[in-house]
Amino acid sequence: MSVRPAIVAAMLGGTVLIALPAWIGQRPQLIWNASASVAIGLYRVEPYDRIGVADIALVMPPKSLADFMARRGYLSNNVPLLKRVLALSGQTVCRRRTAIVVGSVTYGHARERDSRGRALPVWQGCRVVAGDEVFLMNWGAADSFDGRYFGLLPLTSVIGRAVPVWTLGHAFPEPNASNDPVRGKLAKALTTLPNAHERSTAMALIGAFTRNDDGFFGNITTLTLDAKVAILPAQKSDAENAPDHRVFCEGMEAGAAWDRSGDKAGAYLSVSIDDPSFAQPMRANLFQSDAEKGAWGLYWSRPSKRNEQG
């Protein structure tokens, strides 16, 4: 997963100033990803102290790993990677033969050889991620060279968290925040609450999401929650009512989701999210937008008629 400044200049026609790249000693502000392991496009880089599970990390590999990739022709020296965070401090990561397992969920498999028939690095067993370590894996890209092969990396390898600004097929506008963050949050939350004086059974919109090969990614805003959320595939199970997806809020596992379908609603997700402010989990439904391709909306409460959704 490489960041190529020359491609940035070519794609943007020299009309946008791109921050100096990380390998000269400073964290970049904008980067262009040209590899398909994560969505191709423009990313904003934020400090890594805010990074969580399912975030995309901009990583400068340790020298031994960088030298190996350079010898193999995977990546030039002093070029950072874009990889998803799969596990952080306290989580257990296992490689069992070729399977990568975290928390009893198999997220993918390692290959034995690369596209030129050369043997790939192998590690086996289970490891608990230490406080100064991170496990990175692009689980939606089977050919990605990541933690499947090089295992855990030092957390200091992370330059920052990469947030998509524009990727092929999607735009991610900045939120229109109020000058007063508390008032702005409250105002935004209040617009999602049902009106008790209306007879309408339409659900309240509490989150906007996009979907890619890795899962669903977005934000939830209510009176008690304002969080980044990732909804990722769960390990398949024959157990009754086993979830189809795992829900992460700000990098911490906080619920589950199930695939559902209805005559009027079509295919959607039934989502259960733990809210520390309440004894019972919050229930919501994730529907695909009729108006915007690739967009999904998270709605509080149970659906009624499909055309009543906002």
Coil vs helix vs strand at 83: strand
Q: Which of 21-35, 161-175, 233-247, 277-291 has the highest mean predicted lDDT (pLDDT)?
A: 233-247
Q: Which pLDDT score is estimated for 270? A: 92
> What is the radius of gyration, based on Cα positions, of the chain?
21
Q: By the 8 A CB rule, do 7 and 31 touch? A: no
Could you tell me where the DSSP H helices lie in the chain?
Answer: 5-12, 63-72, 147-150, 181-190
d(CA 222, CA 61): 39
Calpha distance 189→165 (Å, rounded): 24
Residue 77 and residue 67 in contact, taking contact as beta carbons nearer than 8 Å: yes
Residue 142 predicted with pLDDT over 60? yes
Q: What is the pLDDT of residues 206-227, one digit of tens each?
A: 888 988 888 899 888 877 778 8
Residue 47, token pair as written in the block: 């400090």
Strand partners for 3? 33
pLDDT at 73 over 70: yes
pLDDT at 96: 95
Dihedral sign for Cα atoms in the order 16, 22, 26, 29: positive
The pLDDT of residue 199 is 35
**Are the C-beta atoms of residues 229 and 248 closer than 8 Å to each other?**
yes
| Separation of alpha carbons 164 and 170, rounded Å | 9
What tokens does 94 get? 């296992």
Number of helices (H) and strands (E), helices first, in the chain? 4, 20
Max mean pLDDT range (55-64, 165-174, 225-234): 55-64
Mean pLDDT of 249-262: 88
Q: Coil, strand or helix: which one is 306?
A: helix
Q: Is the distance from CB of 175 to CB of 184 less than 8 angstroms?
A: no
pLDDT category, 305, cuts 50, 70, 90? very low
Pick 143 or 133 by higher pLDDT: 133
Place of tokens 């350079």: 70
Start-to-end Cα distance in the chain: 38
Per-residue pLDDT band for 264 (boundaries 50, 70, 90) equals confident
Structure-token pair, residue 124: 């086996």
Single out the residue of 234, 63, 231 nearest to residue 150, CA to CA.
63
Q: Domains plus CATH for the chain?
A: 5-165 (2.10.109.10), 176-308 (no CATH)
| pLDDT tens per residue across span 3-50 | 443 333 333 332 223 333 434 445 568 888 887 778 888 888 988 777
H/E stretch holding 294 reads none
What does the pLDDT read at residue 35?
A: 77
Does the CA dihedral 115-118-124-127 come out positive or negative?
negative
Helix (H), strand (E) at residue 86: strand 81-87
- The whole-angstrom separation of Cα 208 and Cα 218 is 6
Q: What is the Cα–Cα distance from 56 to 75, expressed in whole angstroms?
A: 18
